[in-house]
Amino acid sequence: MSINAVQLKRDILDYKKKLAGVIDMQIHLAPDIVQRSSSETIFEKVARETQYFGWLSKCHHLTTAGRQLIVPQSKDGPHFFGSIALNNSIGGLNPYAVEVALKLGASEVWMPTLDAQNHINSFGQATLPTFKPLETHKSFSSPPAKPITVLDSSGALKEEAKQVVETMKGSEAILGTGHLSYIEIEQLIDYANKVGVNHTLITHPEFRVTNFSKEQQMRLVDKGSYLEHCATTDYNARLIVENIRFVGASHCILSSDSGQTQKGHPLDAFYDFIEAIQAEGMGEEEIQKMTIDNPKKLLGVA
């Protein structure tokens, strides 16, 4: 089993007051190859009680597109949104995997995360220190890390990266930047804009791997991208609020980036994150914009 069940800290009515109507744009749930605090189907039950509008499921190792076939769906929600992350287990910058994921209904295509060259440069390995492997996988050996970059040796965007973006054209799916470096992201977003992939989302710009200055964040916003501020491990709420204020809440999204057992239940991770952002002076209207309005706009469900 990949679920290490985590209990809620609050009464369900408390969550409903703060989280009704939200879309959490990044949750990591079982099935996975590392321990997760909940599964898609178990999370759906509490999300329905809390009156979530929906959540976007992310896995570093598997596509979550198609899981809507096993997660209960209704017109009243909560709504499930799937995705694919272009790490080595998917074949890296693989337009064929993207095509299949989009046909299965993927709402977001993430550039490489754990296998990104930028991630491996930062952590020294294609994993995260917070990961807890499954007991059943302890006997398996791993092949050497194969770092992925979207740029060739001359610093230009690789053809396979262009093919991934071109495959997304007309799908209305979101292009997520994953754990790429700033210089990679700039070129990627420029090409996406050139070919008409208009929904681009900058993944956790305050994370250790993607720690972009507020000026860099503004430059990406000026290119038409949204910024996805996440409750990453040891996040700095004050810094996040400063960055949001600098670019404007109209260009930002809040996500829990939860599912890791040490973060607790995903509902608590999102609840606590929103409370921390509010404690730094962010108002209710801005919170609604970043947890409801902007996610709906990006997902095309506004």
| Contact in structure between 193 and 125 (CB atoms under 8 Å) | no
Domain ranges of the chain: 12-299
Question: How much is the pLDDT for 123?
Answer: 86
pLDDT-derived band at 139 (thresholds 50, 70, 90) equals: low
Query: Of 81, 26, 42, which Cα lies nearest the Cα of 257?
Result: 26
Give pLDDT tens digits for 38-54. Answer: 999 999 999 999 999 99
Question: How much is the pLDDT for 133?
Answer: 67
pLDDT above 70 coverage of the chain, percent:
94
pTM of the model: 0.95
Give pLDDT tens digits for 67-93. Answer: 989 998 888 899 999 999 999 999 999
- 290-293 contacts: CB < 8 A, separation 24 or more? 290/229, 290/244, 290/249, 290/252, 290/253, 290/254, 291/22, 291/23, 291/24, 291/253, 291/254, 292/21, 292/22, 292/23, 292/53
For 12-299, CATH number? 3.20.20.140
